[in-house]
């Protein structure tokens, strides 16, 4: 069963619109991530959070922004969508690393496929 939820599943939107992609997890994980994946291409980390009020940019530059006001919620926002933002956006969460041991892997949501026309 899915413990991490992304909405919407598909979104087609016009250029210049503001959009927010939702991601929520029910596992109490402190770490959350956003990845971007173009068709047939690798996943690239664009944002991550290690806890409430903590957000960092990932390895791939992105015009999107994120917020982490609650542990379970990590929304991604595009202030002005452009065709270049067309992609699949995948949200993930994981348990933190304590000491030298990371006991848990990542759990991914089903993704949001965004098309900007």
Partner 1 sequence: KQEVTQIPAALSVPEGENLVLNCSFTDSAIYNLQWFRQDPGKGLTSLLLIQSSQREQTSGRLNASLDKSSGRSTLYIAASQPGDSATYLCAVREGNQGGKLIFGQGTELSVKP
Contacts to partner 1 by CB under 8 A:
6, 31, 33, 42-43, 45, 48, 50, 58, 88, 90, 92, 94, 96-97, 100-111, 113
Let me know: does 58 contact 47? Beta carbons within 8 Å. yes
Instruction: Give least dist CB 100 to partner 1, A.
Output: 8
Collect all residues with Cβ–Cβ distance below 8 Å to 108 and sequence separation of at least 6: 4, 90, 91, 92
Instruction: Give least dist CB 62 to partner 1, A.
Output: 15
DSSP codes of every residue in 33-74: EEEEE-TTS-EEEEEEEEETTEEEE-SS--S-EE--SBTTB-
Output DSSP code: residue 84: G
Which of 16/62 has CB closer to partner 1? 62
Which of 86/107 has CB closer to partner 1? 107
Instruction: Give least dist CB 15 to partner 1, A.
Output: 23
For residue 72, what are its two tokens?
Answer: 């379970």
Cα diameter, the chain: 47
Which of 33/74 has CB closer to partner 1? 33
Instruction: Give least dist CB 74 to partner 1, A.
Output: 15
Which of 16/28 has CB closer to partner 1? 28
């Amino acid at each position: 069963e899915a413990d991490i939820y992304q909405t919407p599943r598909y979104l087609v939107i016009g250029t210049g619109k503001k959009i927010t992609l939702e991601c929520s997890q029910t596992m109490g994980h402190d770490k959350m991530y956003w990845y971007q994946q173009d068709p047939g291409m690798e996943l690239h980390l664009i944002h991550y959070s290690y806890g409430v009020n903590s957000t960092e940019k990932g390895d791939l530059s992105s015009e999107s922004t994120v917020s982490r006001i609650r542990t379970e919620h990590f929304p991604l926002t595009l202030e002005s969508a452009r065709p270049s933002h067309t992609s699949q956006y995948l949200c993930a969460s994981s348990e933190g690393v304590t000491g030298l041991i990371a006991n848990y892997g990542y759990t991914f949501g089903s993704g949001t496929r965004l098309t900007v026309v």
